[in-house]
Amino acid sequence: MRNLTQTFSSSLGKKLIMALTGLFMCIFLVVHLIGNIQLFKNDDGQAFNSYAYLMTHFVPIKVISYLLYTSIIVHAIYALVLTTKNKKARPIGYAIQHGAANSPWTSRNMGILGTVLLLFIVIHMNTFWAQYHWGALPHAKYETSLSNPQEITVTAIPFDGNEVAYTDYIDSVKGTHIVISKDLYKIVVEAFGQWWYVLLYVISMAALSFHLIHGFSSAFQTLGWDHKKYMPLIKYLGIWGFGVLIPLGFAAMPIYFFFFK
């Protein structure tokens, strides 16, 4: 146990933890993007509000969410510790930085990129996660005709402090399927209707892109999973999957709402 503790308290151990937490967050990004695609459905937020309820009330997902929050904090703290330690080891910058010209820009600026992302996460969590849990969110009532699934009526219900987070039932008298849920979709529409929030979101996704382009493949190298047979595929996934596709998917959401909603 003592050897294990010493290993993870060393610089190499901290890098290993950063690699593991980073890859865990990459998995979350994929899942989160798939869930947020519900925003593009033309159903006044019904699918997205159902997804929001599942993410906050399904026990296994709640456990994973708390692991995610822990991973973000640990990843940020260890990044700060390692950066500070490296600066102390070289208190006076080299007159000529021989390696700087050859190292990627993303590698040299991971700290700046990470800081931008951390600030974004705090603002993002306050705007959506905190509001969903503790804010006075209105509720939306979706009534869908059983005889004609295309016929749907949406009614806004003011929050009165007694509303449940989500309910789903059949009204046999009206012949309708009724869903009542917290209307997080309305908060999304309001947030993405503000130009400064859209700009912040897009800039943060650009930072995420550069952060992942370097961090994804670097994590595999730290873990020792850098066999020459597999590294080309890992770098390809890091650049085009996590560095391009995922940030573009997230950035498309505020842009879509700002211009088309």
Q: Are 214 and 106 in contact (CB under 8 A)?
A: yes
Average pLDDT, the chain: 87
What average pLDDT does the segment 68-95 reach?
A: 78
Residues 112 and 206 grouped into a single domain = yes
Residues 25 and 112 grouped into a single domain = yes
Answer with the residue of higher pLDDT: 163 or 177. Answer: 177
Residue 261 binned pLDDT confidence (cut-offs 50, 70, 90): confident
Residues 218 and 233 grouped into a single domain = yes
The domain boundary residue, chosen from 156, 182, 208:
182
The pLDDT, as a whole number, for residue 92 is 52
Residues 41 and 81 grouped into a single domain = yes
Which strand (E) or helix (H) includes residue 145? strand 139-145
Output the domain CATH number for residue 42.
1.20.1300
Answer with the residue of higher pLDDT: 94 or 20. Answer: 20
- Domain carrying residue 167: 138-182
Answer with the residue of higher pLDDT: 13 or 239. Answer: 239
Q: Is pLDDT of 175 > 80?
A: yes
pLDDT in tens, 128-140: 999 998 888 889 9
Say how many domains are in the chain. Answer: 2
The pLDDT, as a whole number, for residue 229 is 84
**Helix, strand, coil tally for the chain in percent (to 5):** 65, 10, 25
Residues 127 and 247 grouped into a single domain = yes
| Cα separation, 9 vs 12, whole angstroms | 8
The pLDDT, as a whole number, for residue 80 is 86
pLDDT in tens, 23-53: 999 999 999 999 999 999 999 999 999 999 9
Q: Is pLDDT of 75 > 50?
A: yes
Q: Is pLDDT of 5 > 80?
A: no
Q: Which residue has tokens 């937490």?
A: 21
The domain boundary residue, chosen from 152, 182, 212:
182
Q: Which of helix, strand or coil describes residue 71?
A: helix
Q: Is pLDDT of 108 > 80?
A: no
Residues 25 and 146 grouped into a single domain = no
**Which of 119, 102, 101 is CA-nearest to residue 111?**
119
The pLDDT, as a whole number, for residue 96 is 45
Residues 29 and 153 grouped into a single domain = no
Kindly give, in sequence order, each residue whose CB lies less than 8 Å from that of residue 71, ignoring residues fewer than 6 positions away.
Answer: 21, 24, 25
Looking at residue 127, its amino acid is T
Residues 39 and 117 grouped into a single domain = yes
Residues 146 and 255 grouped into a single domain = no
